[in-house]
Structure 1
Amino acid sequence: MEGDILAGVSRETRDRLVAYADLLTRWNARINLVSPRDLVHLWSRHIADSLQLASRIPSGARLVDMGSGGGFPGLVIAMATDAQVTLIESDQRKAAFLREASRVAGVRTRVIATRIEAADVAPVDVVTARALAPLPQLLQWSARFLNSEGFCLFLKGKNADEELKAANADWRMAVTRIPSRTDADGVILELSDIRRVTDHNPASGR
């Protein structure tokens, strides 16, 4: 499985991901970075799921990953792209892991160990999240990070349509659904032109 996942990546990215996976496996005995029963599926369920976002990231993009946890998807994206990645993780132990994993993998990231709503980050091009919160909450958090042309990439499961419907009560956005390559029920939601309903200006036609 690992070989199949890494077939399309550069040798540099391959080496980074292998070093990262080894470190995560060792740290997982002390910190619950992934469920112990999921550890056997680390490459297929976590790394590959995160890696599929890499092709959606513009070259040199500034990116914020919310609730990075064990590094999914933000740290994996940092290893596979030239994006300037900021990882937000409130758990101090997980934040320590993210710093060490970045060092071991040879990538430069900024790790902010605080709650998402308290994070101080300049406007970015892309905001990502995986298995973090329902879409309305993700939009509430991410709106303050995005620049005027920015967009979000959220990995979602079978309830994506229900979450979109709930989000439409307070938000308007352009939605692109991209089928997940790792989960038959999964989808990548690419959301752009994100606006609160209260910001809607009928005169603008938007």
Structure 2
Amino acid sequence: MNEEKLRAFADLVLKWSPKINLVSKADLNHVWDRHIRDSLRLLPYLPKDLDRAIDLGSGGGFPGMVLCIASGIPFEMIESDSRKAAFLMEAARQIGAPAKIHNCRIEAARVEPATLITARALAPLDKLLGLAAPLLKPEGFCLFPKGKGVEVELTLAAPLWHMDTDHISAPDWGESCILKVSQIRHAGAA
């Protein structure tokens, strides 16, 4: 993990955030703990032989850019907000992160399916699976940080999606977890 590059990224978030709201004003003094460290929770669950990953609704770069910088794994980041996409492009350029930024809606993205898809605070699980499924390789999986409402999200997604799930948690994470989702199939599919 390259802490120096992660600190440089955190500095860029602080510099750009007042103009384009990458993180809330309340979080400006807590970027490292609330956003960088939270994104790094996913790092141990990235496959060692991963050649690339996709991050949906990348926003301020959490978790995609953080994981890209920390792991060196190329990430394709899909962000519809032009200002946030410009920030991600500039951050990748300045830090030398192996990231490719797609400034478009997720449904319009022209990217090859990947083994790993990440997304943080993008949408409820039933909608998130609809966005992720077309971009996920059959043998792939998703890592989604979720909060205390994860069980409700799973219940709402169950009539629409078949999937295998694994809850990853730790004592110091409180009610949050990482939801690992694989074998995603629309309930109407054969």
Normalising TM by the smaller chain, what interval?
Answer: over 0.9
Which residue of 9, 15, 28 maps to 2:4?
A: 15
Q: Give the match's secondary structure for 1:154.
A: strand
Counterpart for residue 13 of structure 2: 24
Deviation at 1:124, TM superposition (A): 0.4
Aligned length: 189
SS at match of 2:179: strand
Unaligned runs of 5+ in 2: none
Q: Are 1:166 and 2:176 counterparts?
A: no
After TM superposition, give the deviation of residue 191 of structure 1 in Å.
0.5
Q: Is 2:48 the counterpart of 1:68?
A: no
Cross-structure match for 1:4: none
81, 87, 93: which one aligns with 2:71: 81
SS at match of 2:20: coil
Supply the distance in 1 between the matched residues of 2:44 and 2:110 (Cα, whole angstroms).
27
Inter-partner Cα distance in structure 2 for 1:130 and 1:74 = 9
Match of 1:44 among 33, 46, 56: 33
- Quick one: which amino acid aligns to residue 25 of structure 1? L
TM-score, normalised with respect to structure 1: 0.88
1:157/1:187 contact within 8 Å kept: yes
User: 5+ unaligned residues in a row in structure 1: which ranges?
Assistant: 1-9, 201-206
Q: Are 1:88 and 1:116, in contact at CA under 8 Å, matched by a contact in 2?
A: yes
RMSD: 1.3
The one of 22, 27, 43 equivalent to 1:54 is 43
- Kept in 2, the 8 Å contact 1:78–1:85? The answer is yes
Q: Name the larger-Rg structure.
A: 1
User: Percent sequence identity over matched residues?
Assistant: 47
Task: Give the CA deviation at 1:106.
Answer: 1.5
TM-score of the pair, normalised by structure 2: 0.95
Secondary structure at the counterpart of residue 176 of structure 1: strand
2:110 is paired with a residue of what secondary structure?
A: coil
User: For residues 57-101 of structure 1, what are the alpha-carbon distances to aligned partners after superposition, in whole Å with 9 as ceiling and x for unaligned?
Assistant: 113332110000000000001011132200000000100000111
Letter in 2 for 1:96: A
